[in-house]
Chains A and B, each alone.
Chain A
Amino acid sequence: MKVTLKIWRQPDSASQGAMHTYEVDQVSEDMSFLEMLDVLNEQLNTQGEDPVAFDSDCREGICGMCGLMINGQAHGPEVTTTCQLHMRSFKDGDEIVVEPWRSDAFPVLKDLVVDRGALDRMIQAGGFISVNTGSAPEAHSVPVPRDDAVRAFNAAACIGCGACVAACPNGSASLFLGAKITHLGELPQGQPERHSRVVDMVAQHDHEGFGGCTNIGECTAACPKEIPLDVISQLNRDLRVAMAHGH
């Protein structure tokens, strides 16, 4: 099949960008979306035009490196990562608009590549359990109720791709934040730092320039790992309790 691509091109973060139109022929429905872009790039290389820069690494939906806004949807029309989106989700003759994640906290570095360092800095602010190597007690010394372990796992499934931020009309990273708060907060090991963690991470979130959450729910609809919205409720509850405790 043949598709028309409208792709955001921007040489670097200091320059202005614009949409460019390309046509890609002989697209097979078994191709992943990124493999279709590989074909485009091979074509551009032959024509002497700079290939389109986009991020991807594992291409099996777990590393979180890829992420494109495809026809106005983060990661495109399926609930999955961009690398696991296949061209069978499109039709012959489709026009596909491809844009980078748009968030001032994620500056565009080139074309479709953005800088998501803000997410790392939020983890640095408190997204961990402080335990030095070698100081851990025997693993079975603290049983964890299975339901808590399952809920922690569901939140820990976050891959840090940034789709929640990209999809949120407010540009908020609350789903990412809530996922980490819930993951660590559900576990007994995470209790000692529970209050300081949420306060510090929220402060860093706001400092990075992400928007505030208005509980709209676009984030969870875009999340390729289907992190539920209740992690944001957990985040809010933990923040309320922490503030009540004088943090």
Chain B
Amino acid sequence: MASSLDPSHSTATNQPSVQVSDDAQGYYVPGEPLVDPRTPAGPIQDRWTTRKFENRLVNPANRRKLSVIIVGTGLAGGAAAATLGEAGYNVKSFCYQDSPRRAHSIAAQGGINAAKNYKEDGDSTFRLFYDTVKGGDYRARESNVYRLAEVSANIIDQCVAQGVPFAREYGGLLDNRSFGGVQVSRTFYARGQTGQQLLIGAYQAMERQVAAGTVEEFTRHEMLELIVADGRARGIIARNMVTGEIETHLADVVVLASGGYGNVFYLSTNAMGSNVTATWRAHRKGAYFANPCYTQIHPTCIPVAGTHQSKLTLMSESLRNDGRIWVPKNKADCDKDPRQIPEADRDYYLERIYPSFGNLVPRDIASRGAKNVCDEGRGVGPEVDGVRRGVYLDFSASIERLGEDAVREKYGNLFDMYQQITGENPYEVPMRIYPAVHYTMGGLWVDYDLQASIPGLFVTGEANFSDHGANRLGASALMQGLADGYFVLPNTIREYLADGPFEPIPEEHPAVVEAKKSVEDRVAHFLSTNGTRSVDSYHRELGNIMWEYCGMERTEDGLKKAIDLIRSLREDFWRNVKVLGTADSLNQSLEKAGRVADFFELGELMCVDALNRRESCGGHFRAESQTEDGEALRHDDQFAYVAAWEFGGDGALPVLHKEDLVYTAIEMKQRSYK
């Protein structure tokens, strides 16, 4: 692994990349290279300790004079609100749901990784770090990832102390399992509801601070604009979703923990309300958006049943351990009862193409395989918009081999869930699965201290880009959210707050007036368009474009076409959207309109980013960059950088800043799953 490397980890193992291709020419403006000003030096294992020491402290007596706004109450936001509240800062916490406990972290099923090495199976901080960088196809910053691995063990301690009911063995100690093809057992879990239990832990810690008076919570509030005054993020404009009031909230620092943007695809495993507005409004105010094209697509979701579909449901990937994936060899068999199709007429395509890994190939390969066979017309299940999008995941062989009871023991709850949603019994009829958008690795660019390119704006959890590179390992999203919220942000934000409290800004400050007016104008616009199409219909159409051209497989032509389609659809949206109701009441159409408006702009940037990155890595596959066998092909010589996009202005092109990725602790390697 790192044996041949410089033990002090100060020598780079790779050269800065030089991009040769320029597919996105005409769609962007090249900008200055970007260097993380806070990137630490020295041996990798000492960097975080050193930084914690270097960062200035804030006198406990001064903390109550400092105010922090946190947008989002998932693992990253909830944990940060609790921790900063405990430290004595004045925290204002915002969420669009009716309670902080409903943030979408709650839906994570699998587990949370931590380098505890309780199994004594060779795990270590370094191995978790190494697996995470490798899993992300060498597109993450090594210092950030090492820190993540380092604090992972503390997360488990913290959660257990809060009363999170992790699975335990008969001896009363914590149980671990191996997850996502990793060879060590480092995943802690609470049945299939790990996210729920971790979030309830963070939520309870936060509610305790609400009772203590250090945290004030604003539920059913949606951030619609960032206030940047005199070069610093100083507050937000939020809409009270019940009364419709446009409120100004000012503070010394703003933290965005508003999650990912998978809902740009309309159908995803995200919650209905998950949106990009908070981060996008910050982007428009100067925060760089990094690697927007990195999208994780999960292969084992329940397929779309019809055009009414509002969201997709994920089933644990563990199903692929015992299920065999196939489609009919002949198109004519696609609408037949699968049990009537003889073995000889079935195509177990993953086993055929990848004989050594078979059905257990990585997520992106499994996903693309399913798309390919469905595009060929060999998909199964209901026809939606003329195509059958589904492949069989067949347990009949396992049921025969292990018995139905053994299969029920292992997957019973997943089978029940499947049956509840589809009305089909997977013990008798093969399951149908199809990939769905699940997680977005891109997000607002942050430095090592999680500070965005706007001073005073910090970004945590899925909302930032920092830790997963081009792809995220299973059970690592929960780890990152809590690492940022409990341990990283509270230690980095104090360096910024040590200069505070900053001079109070009045509500008449031009930056506040401008931000508030822009929100009010937007609301007024939507309510006065009097168009003919609903917000949802635009969202669905945008999602189709993104899925078709910026989904599992992307091509130069497709992306250019997508950009054109998005631009014209967006223009139509602004002219022709129909939003009923009033501004001063609970108005769900109005809420959606604002979110979809931002998804349009983000969708276009995602396509531009995907167009520029003419390589395949992790959650980004360019058809032009694959091996002869159809595997993803990276170009480290050209693209080992973070693409940080600066907003160029309405109607202007985005500006691309590249941050080189330099590795000292490991060497980059091409993957192979053949």
Instruction: Say yes or no: A183 contacts B163, CB within 8 Å.
Output: yes
- State which of B58-66, B301-309, B558-566, B610-618 sits at the interface with chain A: B301-309
Within 8 A of B (CB), among A97-145: 109-110, 113, 115-117, 119-120, 123-125, 127-140, 142-145
Instruction: Say yes or no: A59 contacts B588, CB within 8 Å.
Output: no
Within 8 A of B (CB), among A36-82: 36, 38-39, 42, 45-46, 48-51, 53, 55-60, 62-65, 78, 80
Instruction: Say yes or no: A156 contacts B165, CB within 8 Å.
Output: yes
How far, in whole Å, are A160 and B199 apart by their CA atoms in the complex? 13
Instruction: Say yes or no: B207 contacts A131, CB within 8 Å.
Output: no
Interface flag for A245 (CB, 8 Å): no
Residue of A nearest to B164 (CB): A156
In the complex, what residues of B have CB within 8 A of residue A12's CB? 585-586
Number of A-B contacts (CB under 8 A): 219
How far, in whole Å, are A57 and B302 apart by their CA atoms in the complex? 18
Interface flag for B621 (CB, 8 Å): no
Instruction: Say yes or no: B161 contacts A129, CB within 8 Å.
Output: yes
Instruction: Say yes or no: A140 contacts B161, CB within 8 Å.
Output: no
Given contacts A51-B588, A146-B170, contact A59 B311 (CB under 8 A): yes
Give B255 Cβ to nearest chain A Cβ, in Å.
15
Instruction: Say yes or no: A133 contacts B82, CB within 8 Å.
Output: yes
In the complex, what residues of B have CB within 8 A of residue A30's CB? 305-306, 308, 382, 422-423
Give A202 Cβ to nearest chain B Cβ, in Å.
16
Given contacts A88-B423, A143-B171, contact A136 B161 (CB under 8 A): yes
Give B150 Cβ to nearest chain A Cβ, in Å.
14
How far, in whole Å, are A50 and B586 apart by their CA atoms in the complex? 11
Interface flag for A187 (CB, 8 Å): yes
Instruction: Say yes or no: B160 contacts A136, CB within 8 Å.
Output: yes
Interface flag for A189 (CB, 8 Å): yes
Interface flag for A2 (CB, 8 Å): no
How far, in whole Å, are A137 and B197 apart by their CA atoms in the complex? 19
Given contacts A38-B536, A133-B86, contact A63 B271 (CB under 8 A): yes
Instruction: Say yes or no: A57 contacts B102, CB within 8 Å.
Output: yes
Tally of A interface residues using CB under 8 Å: 77
**Interface 0/1 of A186-211, CB less than 8 Å to B:** 01011000000000000000000000
Instruction: Say yes or no: A143 contacts B173, CB within 8 Å.
Output: yes
**Interface 0/1 of B158-180, CB less than 8 Å to A:** 11111101111111111000000
In the complex, what residues of A have CB within 8 A of residue B196's CB? 62, 157, 159
In the complex, what residues of B have CB within 8 A of residue A159's CB? 196
Instruction: Say yes or no: B309 contacts A35, CB within 8 Å.
Output: yes
In the complex, what residues of A have CB within 8 A of residue B200's CB? 156
Within 8 A of A (CB), among B391-433: 420-423
In the complex, what residues of A have CB within 8 A of residue B82's CB? 133
Given contacts A127-B204, A159-B196, A160-B99, contact A60 B313 (CB under 8 A): yes
Given contacts A60-B311, A63-B107, contact A110 B101 (CB under 8 A): no
Q: Which of A46, A80, A131, A146 contacts B162 (CB 8 A)?
A: A131
Instruction: Say yes or no: B581 contacts A187, CB within 8 Å.
Output: no
Instruction: Say yes or no: B586 contacts A35, CB within 8 Å.
Output: no
Interface flag for B543 (CB, 8 Å): no
How far, in whole Å, are A117 and B193 apart by their CA atoms in the complex? 23
Instruction: Say yes or no: B211 contacts A125, CB within 8 Å.
Output: yes
Residue of A nearest to B118 (CB): A140
Interface flag for B319 (CB, 8 Å): no
Interface flag for A90 (CB, 8 Å): no
In the complex, what residues of A have CB within 8 A of residue B154's CB? 134, 136
In the complex, what residues of A have CB within 8 A of residue B118's CB? 140
Within 8 A of A (CB), among B124-172: 154, 156-163, 165-172
Residue of A nearest to B305 (CB): A30
Instruction: Say yes or no: A65 contacts B423, CB within 8 Å.
Output: no
How far, in whole Å, are A42 and B102 apart by their CA atoms in the complex? 26
Instruction: Say yes or no: A139 contacts B208, CB within 8 Å.
Output: no
In the complex, what residues of B have CB within 8 A of residue A132's CB? 83, 86
How far, in whole Å, are A50 and B317 apart by their CA atoms in the complex? 41
Q: Which of A51, A130, A133, A139 contacts B174 (CB 8 A)?
A: A139
Given contacts A145-B172, A153-B190, contact A57 B272 (CB under 8 A): yes
Given contacts A59-B310, A86-B421, contact A140 B585 (CB under 8 A): no
In the complex, what residues of A have CB within 8 A of residue B97's CB? 57, 63, 65
Q: Which of A31, A58, A88, A113 contacts B271 (CB 8 A)?
A: A58
Residue of B nearest to A27 (CB): B308
Instruction: Say yes or no: A49 contacts B156, CB within 8 Å.
Output: no
Interface flag for B219 (CB, 8 Å): yes
In the complex, what residues of A have CB within 8 A of residue B585's CB? 11-12, 110
Instruction: Say yes or no: B107 contacts A58, CB within 8 Å.
Output: yes
Interface flag for A149 (CB, 8 Å): yes
Residue of B nearest to A154 (CB): B165
Interface flag for A84 (CB, 8 Å): yes
How far, in whole Å, are A31 and B307 apart by their CA atoms in the complex? 10
How far, in whole Å, are A11 and B190 apart by their CA atoms in the complex? 41
Instruction: Say yes or no: B207 contacts A128, CB within 8 Å.
Output: yes
Within 8 A of A (CB), among B66-125: 79, 82-83, 86, 97-104, 106-107, 116, 118
Instruction: Say yes or no: B421 contacts A84, CB within 8 Å.
Output: yes
In the complex, what residues of A have CB within 8 A of residue B99's CB? 64, 116-117, 119-120, 160
In the complex, what residues of B have CB within 8 A of residue A133's CB? 79, 82-83, 86, 158, 205, 486-487, 490
How far, in whole Å, are A93 and B312 apart by their CA atoms in the complex? 28
Instruction: Say yes or no: A146 contacts B589, CB within 8 Å.
Output: no
Instruction: Say yes or no: B168 contacts A64, CB within 8 Å.
Output: no
Residue among B165, B172, B196 with most chain A CB within 10 A: B165
Known contacts A31-B308, A139-B160; can you find 8 more A-B pairs with CB under 8 A?
Answer: A12-B585, A28-B306, A35-B309, A64-B101, A88-B423, A127-B207, A139-B156, A143-B173
Offer 5 A-B interface pairs, CB within 8 angstroms, sorted by A.
Answer: A46-B534, A59-B310, A130-B208, A139-B157, A149-B172
The 6 closest A-B pairs by CB, nearest first: A143-B172, A136-B161, A128-B204, A30-B305, A153-B165, A133-B83
Q: Which B residues lie at the A interface, using CB under 8 A?
A: 79, 82-83, 86, 97-104, 106-107, 116, 118, 154, 156-163, 165-174, 190-191, 193, 195-197, 200, 203-205, 207-208, 210-211, 217, 219, 242, 269, 271-273, 305-306, 308-311, 313-314, 382, 420-423, 486-487, 490, 534, 536-537, 578, 580-581, 585-586, 588-589
